[in-house]
Amino acid sequence: MNLPPVSKHSVAIVDANSRHQAEVSDALLSFYVVHPYTDCTAALAGLNMAPPALILVGEYVPPATGIQFILALRQEIAFADTPVIYIADRDDGENTDKALLAGASSCLVKPYLRSVLIKAISAQLNASVERSWEVLPPLQREALKGTVEVFNNIADVISSGNPLPYGVVKDACLPLVGAINNNDFKSILNGVKDHDNYTYVHSMRVATLLSLFGHAAGLKGSDQTVLASGGLLHDVGKMLIPHHILNKPGALDETEMAIMRTHVPETVKYLKAIPDIPNSVIVIAEQHHEKLNGKGYPHGLQKSGLNDLARMAAIVDVFSALTDRRVYKPPMEAEKALGIMTDEMGDHLDQHFLKMFKVMLLDAVE
């Protein structure tokens, strides 16, 4: 029997504990579509109907244990190589050892942080991508490893309300700025493009291009680091947006758009809780969806009300969104994206900065 194709952004959780299922679904809200199953029969039927990219298995999967379910799963040819993470209720060593022998790819033990779950899944689904970073030069390697670590940890911060120190973000962005100043940043953009966390990919591309834009405009040192930090953090509120809205192929309806727009105030709320964060980082996040004609959000600012850094960020954000690779579309060619931004967004984007951005891109590809 030929199974449907594996959905890259689909995760299954097989566990009789409905409370744990709900916690996992909440933790992975913006990252994956989560399919819950409470028993062995339903799980095997459902997994064959919609094969996921990864399977989480709890201790109890009626009528047997999670370990026995993993053994049965590995007997299925279709799931012989699917990553499986076993989640144990206790840490007695023997339990997790048995799970690994049964065929689990890795194990977690309750209680665990949200970031630990995200990192464990990412380690399986992005193994080849993140392994490729190891062969990069030090600056490029540290730029990617440091920023993805920050991004994963922000998931805990948003859940707990305890802000991540700005110094941690700044330190993660310093290698990125260094690579840009050395005109050796393309491997960063290439290294991030196939990562499965779209919000991270988009944010890292914005951080790179915005820092490059600042460099071309003559900004240096801490100012350039602020731009990189603003790019990395500008969309962190999207971690509270459901995956089906965040990754919807077509146009959002009115209700979905209202939900999507909440990512801006949620991002600002998170950033304002960081005591030592530069105000410019907050401005970039708060204004990058504003438009010169006043039809943007969340404040409907226009012309003189828009900060220059936010004008630059809006251009980079739109360009990145158009040229990003998505699950439902290939990346748009840069030339076509710039044409749309020039011909169709004249009353939306600052055309003076857009001309500078075009020149910067031409210089960058030479």
pLDDT in tens, 262-317: 999 999 999 999 989 999 999 999 999 999 999 999 999 988 899 999 999 999 99
Quickly count: other Cβ atoms within 10 Å of residue 319's Cβ: 25
Q: How far is CA 322 from CA 4, 240, 282, 325, in A?
A: 29, 22, 24, 9
The answer to whether the CB of 350 falls within 8 A of the CB of 292 is yes
Note the pLDDT tens digit of each residue in 333-364: 999 999 999 999 999 999 999 999 999 988 77
Q: What is the pLDDT of residue 365?
A: 57
92 to 63, 64, 98: CA distances (angstroms): 23, 19, 11
Block means of pLDDT (10 residues each) for the chain, 366 residues, are 67 96 92 93 93 96 96 93 95 89 96 92 91 94 94 80 87 96 92 88 95 93 94 93 88 95 95 93 97 94 91 96 81 93 94 94 71
Q: Is 30 exposed, middle or buried (0-12, 13-18, 19+ CB in 10 A)?
A: buried
Predicted TM-score (pTM) of this structure: 0.90
Structure tokens at 94: 């023997």
Burial of 7 (0-12, 13-18, 19+ CB in 10 A): middle
